[in-house]
Chain A
Amino acid sequence: MANTASAASAPQKVSLSRVLGPAHVWALGVGIVLVGEYTGWNFAADKGGTLAALIICWTIGLLYTSVAMIDSEVTSTVAAAGGQYAQAKHIVGPLMAFNVALYLVFAYTMLEVSNAILIADTIKSYAGEGFESWHYEGIIAGVIVTLAALNYRGVLMTLNVNFVITAVAYLAIIVLFFSVQPWSQGTVLRLGEMVTPDNALPYGWIGVIAGFHWGIWYYLGIEGTTQAAEEVRSPARSLPYGTMAGMITLLVGASLTWYVCASLMPWQYLGYTYYPLLDAGKLTGSKTLEYMMFIATILAALASANGCINDAARAWFSLGRDRYLPTWFSAVHPKYRTPYRSILFLVPIALAFAFIANLGQAITFSILSGVLHYTFMSVNIVMFRNKWPLGSIRRGYTHPFHPLPAIVLFILCVVTFFAIFLGYGAQLTAMVVFYIVMSLWFHFYRYRYVRRGEQFTMPWPKPRGY
């Protein structure tokens, strides 16, 4: 698909580069998400206890397995930058697409902010007394600006870097797991003494439901693999393989993480700390493991922020390309073939929120947009199958058991909305009001600048029922 280098003024055609393979897709998805195992998931223990965090890990794993299955089918068929935005545009309609792009930009930008804050907090926790506020803010700014520059420079280099640092951060979890002799409870790990019948579910089942809110953080962002759809050499092969491999990687990593952390920390501390894996390293008594987890925490956050900049910029770029936002954003860099204006535009927004929000708040903003997004996906797949039944168009991948994954996804999204209500109900309502205002603005004003038929770019037959 071609794009103008400066869509508003110059006629030169420049497109995004098709240079990525399944490993890059894996690196993009896992890279964004892996930080959730270094921080965030453990707040589910705060909400409902350590056992709740495990129940949530697997239940939310089911939610994300549904997301990955659904996404693999739709994206391997609608292979365009913007991922779910392009899906919504072709399946539901322009207004939904506009909203989905905003969910993506919000979720990824706030996730990027969370990562920058986490890096600064982690360094601060080891820095000692000479560490002042300008050091802290300098680290946040340095992370965001440096990674934006890397993204500006090219997608291949960006995701090669992500592949390496994600692999190292994941390997650190495996090394930690085997170092604490998981086969020999009582040597280092003491699960039975940390999680007792009295403290396993301190708030009962309402605590488990409340913890769904943070459980999202175990896997939030895996669906970002689809943002690379226009830059992979073989979307029909790479996207399902990369996404499903990523999901398996994360399910294994999340379970190992829970087992190690739950066996080393009282649940109240597990729910309190920003660095559960780093603390786990510390509690082993080995300085090598402690420093390894310190470095891995920073690498995981860097990989996530890097992938988030990549994804948020592509969603924003897609909005400009379809004229949903000013076409100025749809520019592709003539040399680096990246959506450079969108990358640069989102930098000050990320910086501003990195300085005014704390980690918990930034994560919540990201989660809220993510859950709205998954709710859309559960309906989207049903509409996709109804409008183009199996056999009517070529699909790169067909997910099994339809509509079961869609139903599971929808039910778990409703439960998660309730979980968010238990902690952040007013914030959720305020954010939905924002999306309503933006929807009214788009539907009654902005849409007049959008070409109608040209939005539909797939070589498909007319949808059934239209």
Chain B
Amino acid sequence: MAKYNPPEQSRALQWIDIIFVVAAIFLALWLPLQAGWAGVSRAIQKIDNPTWEALGQTPAQVEQWVKLGFADAAAAHDIIQNKFDYSIDWTQLVIMAVVIIGYFVFLFKASDKEYREVIDEKFNGK
């Protein structure tokens, strides 16, 4: 295989590439925050006039809550009653699986194509 000579990249184009990469990084990190995706599905299951017993705390646990600065059950209520919802959204799960599998398939296939060129040139096609 003939040796590949890459074109020289102008300074302006280098800067454009840097700006593109930085913008993409910011978008990938900032967009989920902005769109509210960066969070979990959970809700506070409210108990009116909570007591430690109603919150399922044993005397030993209550002692520790108090030492941690939670004077009564009402102060700890929102922490104790904040429950996760683990019901599965199958559509979202399938979309996520397809995106991840598709990504890795493309990655390995395209990498292999590039890798063959590297090996061909490195070992002079021998």
Contacts and interface: CB of A to CB of B under 8 A. Distances in A.
Contacts of A390: none
Nearest to B85: A422
B80 interface: yes
A331 B1 CA distance: 31
A135 to B, nearest CB: 22
Interface string A370-405: 000001000100000000000000000000000000
Interface residues of B, number: 73
Contacts of A450: 6
A115 B126 CA distance: 50
B64 A452 contact: no
Interface in B1-28: 3-7, 9, 11, 14-15, 17-18, 20-22, 24-28
Contacts of B89: 425
Contacts of B121: 452-453
Interface stretch (A21-29, A143-151, A296-304, A440-448): A440-448
Interface string A275-309: 00001001101000000000000000000000000
B15 to A, nearest CB: 8
Contacts of B50: none
Interface in A409-434: 417, 421-434
Contact of B68 (A8, A196, A279, A353): A279
Interface in B86-126: 86, 88-89, 92-93, 95-96, 99-100, 102-104, 106-108, 110-123, 126
For B30, B56, B68, B126, which residue has the most chain A Cβ atoms within 10 angstroms? B68
A161 interface: no
Contact of A282 (B28, B32, B68): B68
A80 interface: no
Given A268-B79, A421-B96, A447 B114 contact: yes
A252 to B, nearest CB: 25
* Interface SS majority for chain B: helix
B84 A429 contact: no
Given A357-B33, A421-B96, A453-B118, A207 B38 contact: no
Given A283-B67, A325-B18, A451-B4, A92 B108 contact: yes
User: Chain A's interface: helix, strand, loop or mixed, by majority?
Assistant: helix
Contacts of B64: 194, 264-266, 269, 283
A452 B7 CA distance: 12
Nearest to B38: A361
A379 B108 CA distance: 10
Contacts of A451: 4-6
B93 to A, nearest CB: 6
Nearest to A448: B6
A426 B111 contact: no
A374 B38 CA distance: 22
Given A269-B64, A455-B118, A421 B103 contact: no
A178 interface: no
Interface of B: 3-7, 9, 11, 14-15, 17-18, 20-22, 24-33, 35, 37-41, 56-58, 60-61, 64-65, 67-68, 76, 79-80, 84, 86, 88-89, 92-93, 95-96, 99-100, 102-104, 106-108, 110-123, 126
Given A328-B14, A443-B110, A452-B3, 6 more contacts: A210-B86, A349-B25, A439-B110, A450-B6, A451-B4, A456-B118
Interface of A: 8, 47, 88, 92-97, 99, 106, 110, 190, 193-194, 196, 198-199, 203, 206-207, 210, 264-266, 268-269, 272, 279, 282-283, 285, 323, 325-328, 349, 352-353, 356-357, 361, 364-365, 375, 379, 417, 421-439, 441, 443, 446-453, 455-456, 462-463, 466
